[in-house]
Structures are given as C-alpha cells and as structure tokens.
Amino acid sequence: MTQPLDFQPIFQAVRQAAVLCRRVQEAHLVSSDKGGHEPVTIADYGSQAIISRAIAAAFPDDGIIAEEDGGQFIELVAQEQRAEVVALLSEILNTPVTQADVVRWLDHGQRRETARTWVIDPIDGTKGFLALRSYVIAVGILVDKQPVAGVIGCPAYPTKDNAGALFHAQGGVAFMQPLTGGAVRRVRVSEHAEASQVRALESVEKSHTNHERMARVREVAGLGDATLTRIDSMEKYARIAAGDAEMYLRLPRLNSTRPFMIWDHAAGTALVQAAGGMVTDIDGSPLDFSQGRALANKGILVSNGRVHERMIAAIQQVLSESE
C-alpha cells in the first residue's frame, strides 16, 4: 500500500485557479468596456501557474505534463497581458509574483520522466469558459502511466447553492465537496440501466464530436429515449461519477485527425473508475495513457458500467454500417 497523498495543497490551488478564472471572465467577458483582450490565454497561463506552483512545493520531485509552457507565455502573450497575469497572481496568491516566477512555475516538472506524473488541464472546455457555460480545472495523476487519482474543480456544476463542486479520486474512492469548501462526501455512479432512466451526455461543440452518429448509437443500443444533455469539458465525467448521469460518448467526426490529449481525460478517467464506473475506447479496450501527450485511442465511452456493453456493441454496429 502506498501512502495516500495529501491533496489539501492541490485543493487550495484549484480553488485559487477558479477565482482567477472568474476574475478574468468578469473583467474580459462580462464587462464589455474592457473587452478586446484574449481571456483564454490569460486564464490558461494563470491557472496552470497556480497549480504547478502548488505541485512544485508539495511534490517537488514529481513530473508534470501540462498544456502550456513558459516559452509560449513569453512568445505568444503580449506584454500587457503578461503583466495582467502577474498582477492577478500576486493578488490571488497574496504574495509578490514576478514574470520569471510565472515562467518557472509553468515549466516546473515538464519533460521529466517520473513514476508519478501530474497531468494538468488549466482550463478544460475553453469554449464553455468563453460562453459562460461549463469548464473545469483538472489535475490528474498517472502512476506508471495509469490514471489512478485526480482533482477536478467544476465552477459551473449544478448544486443547490451554486457554489460549484470539487471532485477528487484517490485510493479507488471518489469524493465531492463544494468548490468553496465544506463537507466532503463519497460519490458513486448510479445503478440506472433503463432507457427511461438513462441520462446521456455529449460535447456542446459540433466540431468536437459526431452528434448524428452518437444519436444513431443510442438508438441501436435501445437508449433512444435517454435524456440527452450537452455539456462542455470534463464536467461530463464528474456528473457520471456523482450519479447525476449515466453515459458519455465521444465519437470523433469521420474526417478528424486530431488525437485525444491526455490532460482532457486523465483526471476524469481516474474519477469515474474510482466511483465504480467504466471508461474505455469504443471497442471496450482501456484508454492508453502510455504514449506521451496524446492518447492512443479512437473514441471514448464513459458510463456507470450498467449500459457499457450495450453501447460498445451498438458503436461497433454503427461503425460497420458506415464503412
């Protein structure tokens, strides 16, 4: 048995990153007189800097695979926006921050081969973030290239008090707490398997997946009457882990050559598996996190386990029809 990791510094970092994201949304999206900047860029770099800084302090020898890096921050982000990131970080972290600190945090742990590797998506669901829909801040942990643990901050998760939700998985158990802090409770996938009870999820963005073929798959699986909700980001994994939905299919568009990236799925996979659900490729084989930054998979099916086999069979039938 390995010692459980203390996730408190990561929880704190995800909360701080969520504050930064909201501040950027308010300044650049909600208030029109300050428009014209690139909020995604600012929030992505700021969020990753906060999370990598926390990992560097709490787990200094661990490797990190993350979407952004320090070189891009200097090359791609205008001086004025970099200054804005530095100012926001100084305020939210309540300590003086320099541009050199930001570059160092963004690069920390990257290109380092370690048995335990943190996988960061500083803002997953960028289009949802921009449109004020759902997005998440995701931190997965690979041990020997398997997604075994993770933390996902979901600022837009539907809860009674609108506080958002913070999920984590560790030691094969999944948990949920209010994003702003409070009672931590264990979560599990639902037992639902009947079409009338099944809540299906898919991406909002038409360009990300093949909505038509996924509808056909549900029909063939006998789940044509399932409720369908479109949500951005890995919040889809969180909803299944919490028993708030039963399945999520990601079938790429027919002409897509874009690979899945590990930061879009590592934390979610760990969370759903810990909650008792299943995450596989569309032929039922496991997702392969061993190939670096891209996943070596053709599609993704996430479920509570109860509808998995039926969906895999339906996917294979629909794929053979379109060959």
Chain residues that interact with Mg ion, rule: CB under 5 A: 121, 124, 264
Is 211 a binder of ligand AMP (CB under 6 A)?
A: no
8 Å CB contact between 269 and 140: yes
Nearer to Mg ion, 69 or 121 (CB): 121
SS3 of residue 153 by DSSP? strand
Nearer to ligand AMP, 52 or 233 (CB): 233
Tokens of 49: 């800097």
| Angle, vertex CA 124, rays to CA 121 and CA 130, nearest 5 | 135
Please, which of residues 218-237 interact with ligand AMP by CB under 6 A? 232-233
Query: Which residue is closest to Mg ion by CB?
Result: 124
The catalytic residues are: 44, 126
Nearer to ligand AMP, 115 or 132 (CB): 132
Residue 258 Cβ vs ligand AMP, minimum distance, rounded to whole Å: 5
Distance CA 29, CA 27 (A): 6
Q: For residue 227, which of 200, 246, 247, 193 has the smallest C-alpha distance? A: 200
Could you write out the DSSP letters of every residue in 159-188? Answer: -TT---EEEEEETTEEEEEETTS---EEE-
Is 210 a binder of ligand AMP (CB under 6 A)?
A: no
Residue 126 Cβ vs Mg ion, minimum distance, rounded to whole Å: 7
Residue 213 Cβ vs ligand AMP, minimum distance, rounded to whole Å: 14
From the list ligand AMP, Mg ion, none, partner contacted by residue 208 (C-beta under 5 to 8 A by kind) = ligand AMP
Nearer to Mg ion, 70 or 268 (CB): 268
Please, which of residues 249-268 interact with ligand AMP by CB under 6 A? 256, 258, 261, 264
8 Å CB contact between 112 and 124: no
Is 124 a binder of ligand AMP (CB under 6 A)?
A: yes
Residue 84 Cβ vs ligand AMP, minimum distance, rounded to whole Å: 23
| Angle, vertex CA 145, rays to CA 144 and CA 149, nearest 5 | 90
Q: Which of residues 207, 255, 257, 322 is near ligand AMP by CB under 6 A?
A: 207
Nearer to ligand AMP, 23 or 253 (CB): 253
Distance CA 113, CA 11 (A): 24
Q: Which of residues 46, 125, 150, 268 is near ligand AMP by CB under 6 A?
A: 125
From the list Mg ion, ligand AMP, none, partner contacted by residue 207 (C-beta under 5 to 8 A by kind) = ligand AMP
Distance CA 42, CA 83 (A): 10
Distance CA 105, CA 31 (A): 30
Nearer to ligand AMP, 97 or 277 (CB): 277
Question: Rounded to whole angstroms, what are the CA distances from 277 to 98, 176, 201, 207, 274?
Answer: 43, 15, 15, 27, 7
Which are the contacts of 90, defined by CB distance < 8 A and separation ≥ 6?
96, 97
Is 205 a binder of ligand AMP (CB under 6 A)?
A: yes
Q: What is the binding site for ligand AMP (CB under 6 A)?
A: 124-125, 203, 205, 207-208, 232-233, 256, 258, 261, 264
